[in-house]
Amino acid sequence: MIPHGMLLAAGLGTRLGPLSQERPKPLLPLVDVPVIRYGLDLLRASGITRIAINLHHMGEQIREEIGDEAIYSEESEILGTGGGIKRMAELLGGERFVVINAKVAVDLDLPAVIDGHERRGALATMVVRPDPDSKRWGAIDVDATGRVRGMLAEGRHMFTGIHVIERALVARIPQGPCDIVRTAYAEMVAARGPLFAHALAEGAFFAENSTPQRYLQANLALLDGAWRAPWPTTGVSATAVVDGTAVLDEPVRVGAGARVGPGAWLRRCVVGRDAVVEAGARVHDAVLWPGAVARGEISRCVLTPRGRVDAG
């Protein structure tokens, strides 16, 4: 059974501060590619073509980026992960769904997750990752068979925001705004129902981009080769213009239409499409958004067309 796909994209992104006032979190450029496209590509590479996206904060920007590649669930009020999934399941039809939080990028064998879900007869399978700080954020406890036996308390794993669910599980989600973990999943754990986990390998690339610091670190990790993403993460686009006296100290990604002026120095940074690095500017350990203009020293920050957001 080929599942349908859901991308959760309605959140406000409050922890991103000024960045979320310019773009919704799913459109943060991760090495110059909107992060929602990482989830979209993961679904499509697994043979999933019928996809829904829920919208609220700056939803029109997401529509403009994705166009007719998905169907949309407009939320006049945020429905949460539970309510958002329930609404999209009604729009999509079908019996099985892969749900991905649109802020994440991950090195994941999704067909293996779906296969394990099916073999176990699971109603839901949560993709989790080992994390030494799991208790601080609400741990997922998994037994030796892969069954989830506890959540939001003890355990060594964190939920990635990626899961495979059956329509029978959707039916357990309450009507209205709610969190699927604290409702349907908590009830399944209490009843010892068929809720399972698929753990990412230790060290597998995962980025959830929820703060400026984590977002910058995800870009730098991809520059450093932490994962071979589906598109170039280093190098200079064929349509970028780089002055012959500029110094590009790899790893660097310079996007389409970007311009790098005389005497500029770049190291471990992303220069987004149509961004400008002025003459003599020094840019390192930083991300320039599309259309940003860099002058002087730019370091440990995200530079947007509206200004600088420190992320050190």
Query: What is the average pLDDT across 93-112?
Result: 97
29 and 159: one domain?
A: yes
**What is the pLDDT, as a whole number, of residue 235?**
98
Q: What is the maximum alpha-carbon separation in the chain? A: 67
Residue 34, preceding bond cis, omega within 30 degrees? no
Which token pair is 234? Answer: 């280093």
Residue 148 lies in a domain: yes
Query: What is the average pLDDT across 283-287?
Result: 98
198 and 96: one domain?
A: yes
Residue 217 lies in a domain: no
Q: Pick the closest to residue 164 from 75, 42, 79, 55 (CA basis).
A: 42
172 and 278: one domain?
A: no
Do 303 and 286 meet the contact criterion of CB atoms below 8 Å apart?
yes
Instruction: Report the alpha-carbon angle 147-152-155, nearest 5.
Output: 55
**What is the pLDDT, as a whole number, of residue 73?**
97
pLDDT exceeding 70 applies to what percent of the chain? 99
174 and 263: one domain?
A: no
What is the count of structural domains for the chain? 2
197 contacts: CB under 8 Å, gap ≥ 6: 125, 126, 127, 128, 140, 142, 146, 147, 148, 157
Query: What is the average pLDDT across 182-198?
Result: 96
| Residue 151 reports pLDDT greater than 90 | no
167 and 304: one domain?
A: no
Mean pLDDT of the chain: 96
Do 183 and 173 meet the contact criterion of CB atoms below 8 Å apart?
yes
Q: What is the pLDDT of residues 252-282, one digit of tens each?
A: 999 999 999 999 999 999 999 999 999 999 9
12 and 132: one domain?
A: yes
Confidence at 60, pLDDT banded by 50, 70, 90: very high
Which token pair is 18? Answer: 């000024």
Buried b (16+ CB within 10 A) or exposed e, 141-160: bbeeebbbeebbeebbbbbb
Confidence at 141, pLDDT banded by 50, 70, 90: very high
Do 108 and 201 meet the contact criterion of CB atoms below 8 Å apart?
no
Q: What is the pLDDT of residues 203-257, one digit of tens each?
A: 899 999 999 999 999 999 999 999 999 999 999 999 999 999 999 999 999 999 9
Torsion of CA 266, 105, 221, 283, to 10 degrees: 20
Residue 291 lies in a domain: yes
For residue 270, give the CATH number of its domain.
2.160.10.10
Residue 277 lies in a domain: yes
For residue 74, give the CATH number of its domain.
3.90.550.10
154 and 299: one domain?
A: no
Residue 168 lies in a domain: yes
Residues 10 and 76: their CA atoms lie apart, in Å, by 10
pLDDT exceeding 90 applies to what percent of the chain? 92
Report the phi/psi class of residue 208: left, alpha or beta, with left for phi > 0 and alpha for psi in -120 to 50: alpha
Please list the alpha-helical segments (H only) found in the chain: 19-22, 36-45, 59-66, 80-92, 110-120, 134-137, 167-170, 186-190, 212-223
**What is the pLDDT, as a whole number, of residue 186?**
94
**What is the pLDDT, as a whole number, of residue 82?**
97
Residue 229 lies in a domain: no
Do 277 and 259 meet the contact criterion of CB atoms below 8 Å apart?
yes
Q: Pick the closest to residue 300 from 235, 240, 215 (CA basis).
A: 215
13 and 161: one domain?
A: yes
Final residue in a domain of this structure, among 207, 223, 243: 207
**What is the pLDDT, as a whole number, of residue 153?**
76
In one letter, which amino acid is 17? G
Which token pair is 274? Answer: 């149509």
pTM across the whole model: 0.95
79 and 17: one domain?
A: yes
Residue 21 lies in a domain: yes
**What is the pLDDT, as a whole number, of residue 154?**
79
Q: Give residue 276's domain range.
A: 234-310
Q: What is the pLDDT of residues 23-34, one digit of tens each?
A: 999 999 999 999
Do 107 and 204 meet the contact criterion of CB atoms below 8 Å apart?
yes
**What is the pLDDT, as a whole number, of residue 239?**
98
Query: What is the average pLDDT across 109-118?
Result: 97
198 and 253: one domain?
A: no
Residue 225 lies in a domain: no
Confidence at 165, pLDDT banded by 50, 70, 90: very high
**Could you tell me whether strands 157-166 and 124-130 are parallel, antiparallel, or unpaired per DSSP bridges?**
antiparallel
Final residue in a domain of this structure, among 207, 223, 258: 207
In one letter, which amino acid is 286? A
